[in-house]
Amino acid sequence: MRVMVIIKADKDSEAGVMPDERIFTEMGKYNEELVKAGIMLAGEGLHPSSKGARVRFDGAKRTVIDGPFTESKELVAGFWLWQVKSLAEAIEWVKRCPNPTGVQSEVEIRPVFENEDFGEAFTPELKAQDDRLRAQIAERK
């Protein structure tokens, strides 16, 4: 199963404060462990919400909302995409993670939908389209 591991933002990450060398070093070692274990598919830090935007949908209407966004505890500062055997395995890996901020922080784990999770609405034609798109993405790497 694939999971997205989400590092929650805090006031420092939203202010654009970069982690110190110690945190970068610890995270680098941790990322090496994830790669060697064949778990890490991707992982990135994100700029603060002040550099982002949201698009709100209301029927056919689209409204653009420029950052920053007020509730930093609900924002994402970074993420990993992992391939694991189970949610329990992902939890065990997160428990080994260095503290992302060095102070109180939170990491969220969310399973990624796979094609088989969508049921009958995901027709063979839609699956074929998805397979084609994934193959095109893989070719670009």
Question: Does some domain include residue 16?
Answer: yes
Is 138 part of a structural domain of the chain?
A: no
Flag whether pLDDT at 73 surpasses 80.
no
User: Is residue 129 assigned to a domain?
Assistant: no
- Whether residue 137 is contained in a domain is answered as no
Asked whether residue 121 is assigned to any structural domain, the reply reads no
String of DSSP letters for 15-55: TTPPPPHHHHHHHHHHHHHHHHTT-EEEEEE---GGG-EEE
Report if residue 141 sits inside a domain: no
Range of the domain at 89: 2-113
CATH number, domain with residue 34: 3.30.70.1060
Query: pLDDT tens digits, residue range 94-121?
Result: 999 999 887 888 999 999 999 889 999 9
Rounded-to-integer distance, Cα 102 and Cα 42, Å = 22
C-alpha to C-alpha distances, 2 to 48, 64, 80, 84, 109, nearest whole angstrom: 26, 31, 10, 6, 10
**Within-domain flag for 26:** yes
Name the pTM for this structure.
Answer: 0.88
How confident is the model over 6-28, as a mean pLDDT?
Answer: 92
- What are 68's two structure tokens? 């920053």
- Token pair of 30, please? 């941790």
Per DSSP, 67 falls in state S
d(CA 93, CA 91): 5
**Residue 72, pLDDT above cutoff 70:** no
Q: How many domains does the chain have?
A: 1
* Assigned domain for 58 exists: yes
Tokens of 108: 């969220």
